[in-house]
Amino acid sequence: MVQQRAGAATPQNGGRAGDRFEQHADRVADMVVAGQSAESTLDEMAASGGGTAGELVQHQGGLPEPPFGDEKLQGLTKEQLQQLYDKYHKSNPAEANKIKKWQKSKGFRGSSLKKGGKAKKFLRVAGKGAKVILPIIFLHDWYKEGFWEATKNTVNDVTWPLSELWNDE
Amino acid sequence: MSDSRVEIERWRAALTSDNEADRGDAAEAPPEGAPPDEVVAGLTPLLHDPSDVVRLCAAETLGGFGGQAAAAALRAFVAREADPLAKAYGLSSLGLAGTSQDLPLLLSETAEDRPAQIRIHALVGLYELVRRGVKHGLMGLLAHDRPDVRGAAAEALATVLEARDDGDAVQRLERGAADELVEGAREGFVGALQRLQGSNE
pLDDT band at A108 (very low <50, low <70, confident <90, very high): confident
Write out chain A residues lying below 8 Å of B28, CB-based: 112, 114
B53–A89: do the CB atoms touch at under 8 Å?
no
pLDDT of residue B166: 74
* B129, B98 Cβ separation under 8 angstroms: yes
pLDDT of residue B162: 73
pLDDT of residue B161: 79
A104–B89: do the CB atoms touch at under 8 Å?
yes
Please tell me which residue, B87 or A144, carries the higher pLDDT value: B87
- What is the C-alpha to C-alpha distance for residues A160 and A163, in angstroms, rounded to an integer? 5
Is 50 exceeded by the pLDDT of residue A18?
A: no
pLDDT of residue A163: 41
How many residues are listed for chain B in this entry?
Answer: 201
pLDDT of residue A30: 66
For chain B, residues with pLDDT lower than 50 are none
Give one DSSP letter per residue of A9-23, joined into a string. -S----SHHHHHHHH
Residue among B20, B58, B55 at smallest CA distance from B39? B58
Give one DSSP letter per residue of B56-116, joined into a string. HHHHHHHHHH-SHHHHHHHHHHHHH--SHHHHHHHHHHHHHH--GGGHHHHHHTTSTTS-H
How many residues are listed for chain A in this entry?
Answer: 169
pLDDT of residue B18: 97
- What is the C-alpha to C-alpha distance for residues B54 and A149, in angstroms, rounded to an integer? 49
B25–A114: do the CB atoms touch at under 8 Å?
yes
Distances B167 to A160, B120, B172, B185 between C-alpha atoms, Å: 55, 20, 9, 21
Is 90 exceeded by the pLDDT of residue A6?
A: no
- What is the C-alpha to C-alpha distance for residues B89 and B55, in angstroms, rounded to an integer? 9
pLDDT in tens, B98-140: 999 999 999 999 999 999 999 999 999 999 999 999 999 999 9
Please tell me which residue, B146 or A150, carries the higher pLDDT value: B146
CA distance A39 to chain B (A): 28
- What is the C-alpha to C-alpha distance for residues B84 and B130, in angstroms, rounded to an integer? 23
Is 70 exceeded by the pLDDT of residue A75?
A: yes
B21–A97: do the CB atoms touch at under 8 Å?
yes
Extended beta strands in A70-148, E state: none
pLDDT of residue A87: 95
| ipTM of the prediction | 0.83
Over residues A145-165, the mean pLDDT reads: 57
Q: Of all residues in chain B, what percent are helix, strand and coil, respectively (each to 5)?
A: 80, 0, 20
Residue among B109, B47, B55, B104 at smallest CA distance from B72? B47
Which residues of chain A approach chain B closer than 8 Å at the C-beta?
A: 16, 52, 54, 73-78, 85, 88-90, 93-94, 96-98, 100-101, 104-109, 112, 114-115
- What is the C-alpha to C-alpha distance for residues B109 and B115, in angstroms, rounded to an integer? 9
Q: What are the domain boundaries of chain A?
A: 1-62, 66-114, 117-166
As a whole number of Å, the end-to-end CA separation of chain A is 33
Please tell me which residue, A153 or A1, carries the higher pLDDT value: A153
The CATH architecture annotation of domain B3-128 reads Alpha Horseshoe (1.25)
- What is the C-alpha to C-alpha distance for residues A77 and A66, in angstroms, rounded to an integer? 17
Is 70 exceeded by the pLDDT of residue A103?
A: yes
pLDDT of residue B67: 94
Element (H, E) at A50: none
Q: What are the domain boundaries of chain B?
A: 3-128, 165-201
pLDDT in tens, A20-66: 545 555 665 666 556 666 555 555 544 444 445 545 454 445 889 99
